[in-house]
Amino acid sequence: MEETTLEFYKDRGQVQENRILELQQRNKDSNINEQSIDLDYDLYLEHEYLFLNVNLPGVLEQELKVELNRGEIIISGEFPNLCADEEVEFLERHRPSGYFQKNFLLPPDLLIQKHEWQLVDGVLQIRMILKADQKDSKLLLD
């Protein structure tokens, strides 16, 4: 039973990876989302954890990827396009749509042991566990 569960999560991860690659290629081919995406977020320390909460309204968990890579968190996915009719003429457009990728630089003096994330009510909640002796470090962001 345990082996089947591991296979399920491995397959699920591969499906997510393939979907993200497909979205990236589709975005490159069509130039859908050239606007700069400015996401609302909170970054804070609490005890031995570093938290990053990001507003991602409408984004589905299966179309979201979160990576920890050399001092930064990389979030990629797709905002839904609720108006898919190509004949529509937007008078104003303020909501993001299409593929996105956002990099968050982490403070250089913090060492992250591991991270975990969940998407709850349109808010991506990332919890990063700090290595020992990191909870008193000063938090500086660019």
The three-state (H, E, C) secondary structure of 51-74, written as one string: EEEEECCCCCHHHEEEEEECCEEE
Give the sheet arrangement for strand 64-69, strand by strand. Answer: 64-69, 72-79, 98-105
Look at residue 127 in the predicted model and tell me its pLDDT.
Answer: 95
Distance of CA 99 to the CA centre of its chain: 11
From 128, 114, 3, 107, select the one nearest 53 (Cα to Cα).
128
Q: Residues 46-67: pLDDT tens digits?
A: 988 999 999 999 999 998 999 9
Q: Residues 127-137: pLDDT tens digits?
A: 999 876 544 44
Is the pLDDT at 140 greater than 70? The verdict is no
The pTM is what?
0.66
Distance linking the first and last C-alpha atoms of the chain: 46
Collapsing DSSP states into helix, strand and coil, what is residue 100? Answer: strand
Look at residue 47 in the predicted model and tell me its pLDDT.
Answer: 85
> Which CATH code for domain 2-130?
2.60.40.790
Q: Residues 9-30: pLDDT tens digits?
A: 566 667 767 766 766 665 555 4
Q: Please state the domain extents for the chain.
A: 2-130
